[in-house]
Amino acid sequence: MAELKIQVVGEGLGLTLPKEVVEQLHIQAGDSIRLDKLPHGGYRLANLDDKLSEQMELIEGYMHEEDA
């Protein structure tokens, strides 16, 4: 788990990702990432180009549908 500190950036809020998170997401300055809301109320950061993340989102959606 990485603790992230919220900072004022212009008129909004931002945060700095630790080096290990940047490396795991395979991102660099200027890239876009996705913040996915999980069925149980948590969140997950994902690289927009991450096919595995898309597949996991589909699987979690199917699992959530079966719980209903």
Dump pLDDT digits (tens) for 20-53: 988 988 889 988 888 888 888 898 888 877 666 6
Q: Provide the CA 61 distance to its chain's centre, in angstroms.
A: 16
Query: What would the pLDDT profile of 2-25 be if each residue is shown by its tens digit?
Result: 788 999 999 999 999 999 988 988
Confidence (pLDDT) at 19: 92
CB 43 within 8 A of CB 36: yes
pLDDT score recorded for residue 48? 77
Q: What are phi and psi of 66, to 5 degrees?
A: -70, -25
Residue found by looking up tokens 């950061």 in the block: 45
